[in-house]
Structure 1
Amino acid sequence: MDEKGTRAWARIDLGALQANVVALKAKAPTAAFMAVVKADAYGHGMLPCAQAAVEAGATWLGVATPDEALALRRAGVTARLLCWLWTPGGPWRECVDADVDVTVSAQWALTEVMAAARAAGRPARVQLKIDAGLGRNGAQPEQWPELTAAARAAERAGLIRVTGVWAHFSCADDPGHPSIARELAVFRTALEQAADAGLAPEVRHMANSPGTLTLPESHFDLVRPGVAMYGISPVPDVGGPADFGLRPVMTLAARLASVKRVPGGHGVSYGHTYLTPGETTLALVPLGYADGVPRHASSTGPVLVAGKWRTVAGRVAMDQFVVDLGGDTAEAGDEAVLFGPGDGGEPTAEDWARAAGTIAYEIVTRIGGRVPRVYTGGQRSC
């Protein structure tokens, strides 16, 4: 797609994504690599990013929902694929038929996947998840022996094959947090209990992005980088992307829709929370909260316009926001860059996260479908 004449776009550098995969693999050289592409690859585009990650050496892909997994299979992606967020009545049979590894965290899920395997006439690939302390999905430690025994019985019956055992950290983004050692201990005990039940999974895994970067003891057989693969530091208080050999993949930009002179005391946007301090030039950026620009960044969000950092003037509206250029000039059609790698002087997603009181994960993931993705660099074979 040609950016010329386009209102706004998110430029996705697949070459940077592939370089990030290589850098992250080097952090865990003995572990397999799962590229997490859930949530439309954190807003970057699930299929192009999945293809680029596999080309760069990822041997697994990870998604949250069954619909995401099935969409990848329909697109022809054949890499090993784990899906972990299930509700009763989900499309177990379809995922069994599509060779998707499905996560089981409770007896009800094991019962449903066993029924799907019977209907499919083939064993289901199952990964068992333990709640090591996060308090979300996963079997509680006291339920784990019963679940592993039931899974082994289903294996002996030819209904499933347990391909993995896994868990997820709660505070790995806070290096040194006491929960990290506790949760690793719970996971190691769960692995011993799974072995005692007779299970021999292909992969044991716990390391997310911060685990991959800062906890080598958590690497086990496979690591699951998510946000780090897209060039965002999961531990910004420890180091930025460049400190870990990573480069942000997404650049969000738009063309100015209006540039005009206004007098001092002129109200700007809803509620007139910003009044011009004197005669000035206002520039209109045609992106708003319907596109994923956080309304919480009203009066704080940074933007590169006419070669300088500006700040959102007043409230972010549904489709647009304003910046005050002061004595500088610009023209309609000039580029405004909300965030990118930062090496061109533009803000980063982390800058927007701090302005909005959130995390950079949310900044990139929330960029909506009204903003076309423009892919550059990389190789994209299935």
Structure 2
Amino acid sequence: MWPYKKKIIPKKLHICMIAQKFPILGMAGAHSFLWPIAKKMVSLGHSVSVISWKNSQNKTYLDQDGVRAYFLGHIYEKASLSNFSELCHKQFLQLHKIQKFNIVHSIDKTGILIAQNKKLYKTPIIFDIEATAISQYLFLASLSQDNVRNFIKIHFNLLYRFIVNFLKQDRNILKQASAIFVSSTLQRSILERYFLFPDYHTYLVPYGVDVHDFSLQSKSPILQQKLLIPKQAKILLTISNMSELTGITSLLKAFSKVAIKKSSTRLIIIGNGPNYQNIQRLVLDLALGDHVILLGHIPNLELMDYIALSDIFISLTPHSSGFDPNLINAMVQKKIVIGADINPISSLIQNNINGFLTKPSDINTLGKHLIASVFDTQPSLELGEKAQSTVHKLFNLDTMAKQTLDAYYSVLKKRPL
């Protein structure tokens, strides 16, 4: 019998990163942290190729900072996003024939066709938790309230979505994945307990935002004047895609208590989506027309001006992978932050220490946090300092790149093909 042949793992890896959204360096966006990590890995001697859909500059190919990126939505102009997975597989094969990839990292579910053939290509593939529907389950679970009718309704909906998504998507992804990257211990526990995905192949890699500038941005008096906000007013800010009503509804109802006690307080809501008109109607129903500013869509590059203007930042929207970059930027700016306890952010925020946590449906707790923040019963300066310090420790680019590479090497050592 032939002796076991030890697999040789190269010191310098040839990496393929796949994501529908992969913003070019310098461009703000949901996955703006990916390019800096790829760039850092290249600077350490590794080779990184990116396969993505489109970019704001309409470029088909980009070789920047040693990172090679292919944007298939511009290469195949007549193709639709529904064909992205097939086109991605095709592009991967072309590149793989030229130089074999050591590992494939799919941020979303796009890499599934490659995963189904990983044994043929002899290349392990990692998926981020974003490829699954776990964020939906967490958000639904957070809506549960202390009454039997609501409990039954929410958990029936949760069970239904779990069955549908698991059969349609999650089962195949988890079956084919060599490993899964998660950004919180809660996600890790759910994968093992409810999806029976082995913890041995789950990696906690808490990347999620490109933070390189920790300087404080001053409030813009021009912007404050433009929004007709009183000079000494406390300003609350939330950014939402308005796909779910629960978080915004809870926030508006909790904020109404604050507005009664301190009429100069203002709540800015940025975002657009299917529930925009419902939110407008709720603002009027709660008699908050003078206190709530609905701005609709604001370009990503302008969001920092609004974060700097605010005193308190609230994020009650579920995030499937990584962290809410706007909330992270608010922490960098030493703002008081209030986050949902079902988001990955809950692994960052320690309640009453560097921010506040609440269930999106818990109006009473949210109201208490808002009142404490507006009336400074919890020292805002101390909370802000600790919030910035937390981000500084966790989202150092060197640390994020090292954690990612360590996980890559670990996957290769375990030979999970």
**TM band (smaller chain):** 0.3 to 0.5
**Structure with the higher strand share, 1 or 2:** 1
TM-score by length of 1: 0.36
Q: Which of structures 1 and 2 has the bigger CA Rg? A: 1
